Structure 1
């Protein structure tokens, strides 16, 4: 069965399934255990434990499809994204600091490349969750009260003829946005219309450039 919530049933579209986003939360929880401990705030299990607890709570209170409105459900969703973003921010800051100051963790090329790739992937996941949770008020609001003017304009919204009636972006669409913005350093197929979206995409592009350029430059220097 397709995970796309936009396949019409009659004249209505269904809410997004939770399992896809939950699977990528588990990926985000696993990354700190693959990195040196200094790239996690506190201990390497602190944020994964918080994320796991919040995710489990969300699955209990709003299982199946993401369609339950409410202040507490929204607060839990935002808390989960904040925890993921906090882990990515800490890891990125620590990596950049180590690269600029020549820490022992960045003196072996292979280890540096692996750590750099993991931290960079962590930022892509974090920004994917940020776009998903902030665009149009989040997945619940996008389903129950879709806005006339989107914060992020996907091709299927600009040209409705490209998709089935009732199409709305789901988590994978936002993750793809985060990935392309982190590699192209600019919008590709998704246009930021809201100011928060422009600022967030700008921050991600700058962060991605800094991480990739410093990691590659230092790795080339070590291998040379």
Structure 2
């Protein structure tokens, strides 16, 4: 539950799962910001440094609060964490629009533009993974610190959430038996699969916002792929 005086989450005694490691998500953030930084100047100029600078400033207090495991959360840290994920997502969607414009115009060098498309696509995968990770069931801290009946309704249903009636070795990893909850790697994997398959694979969206976000990611991935293929064919021709 929440301590109203400090805004910190307590571990519920019935929970078995340890707090999630901080570093997979931080590595994802740094990778996304690095990809954004090294986009060609045709796509971005000064604004890239503004976005990266704000992103790094948001990371610092989050690392100070939880340097190794995500076991503490305040209202401010929750807002900062959500803001960081949304900053990367929104900035990349703006970059995607600029990329589409350049691909359609066909007036810029092909290879650098195709490389830019790959950078934008990879950043998109990481950005959506961060947003999914932050939104689902109240976020990474709530998922391990709160009792399950205190969690917000799930945005996504993972295979482990319904494996409790499977054979013993599969059932052992289920949410019901092992108190399993998804971590950043799980959200990164299904963000990648959604961006490649343009549809849900093993993880299903449950809420309207989850469906809209997954639809936006799939649409962005499809547009990038279609335009990149068209540009590649024109270069070959």
TM-score w.r.t. length of structure 2: 0.84
- Pairing partner for 2:20 from 16, 19, 35: 16
Partner of 1:4 in structure 2?
none
Q: Which residue of structure 2 lines up, in the alignment, with residue 79 of structure 1? A: 83
Aligned to 2:173: 163
What secondary structure does 1:176 align onto? helix
CA distance in 2, matches of 1:41, 1:171: 31
Q: CA deviation at 1:97?
A: 1.2
Work out whether residues 95 and 120 of structure 2, in 8 Å CA contact, stay in contact via their aligned partners in 1: yes
CA distance in 1: counterparts of 2:140 and 2:62, whole angstroms: 13
Q: Give the unaligned 5+ runs of structure 2.
A: 1-13, 165-170
Q: 1:163 to 1:191 in 2, by over 3 A?
A: same
Other-structure match for 1:5: none
CA contact (8 A) 1:40 1:87 kept: no
Displacement, 1:162?
Answer: 5.5
Unaligned runs of 5+ in 1: 1-9
CA distance in structure 1 between the aligned counterparts of 2:48 and 2:173, rounded to whole angstroms: 42
Question: Aligned partners of 2:114 and 2:233: how far apart in 1?
Answer: 10
Tell me how far apart the structure 2 counterparts of residues 66 and 132 of structure 1 sit (CA, whole Å).
13
Q: What does 1:19-34 align with in structure 2 at a 5 Å threshold?
A: 19-34=23-38
Distance 1:136 1:11 in 2: 15
What value does the CA root-mean-square deviation take over the aligned residues?
A: 1.9
In the alignment, is the contact (CA less than 8 A) between 1:39 and 1:90 conserved in 2?
Answer: no
1:86-165 mapped onto 2 (5 Å cutoff): 86-104=90-108, 107-108=109-110, 110-145=111-146, 146=148, 147=151, 149-160=153-164, 161=171, 163=173, 165=178
Q: In 2, Cα distance between the equivalents of 1:41 and 1:167?
A: 44
Q: Please state if 1:52 is matched with 2:72.
A: no
Normalised by the length of structure 1, the TM-score is 0.88
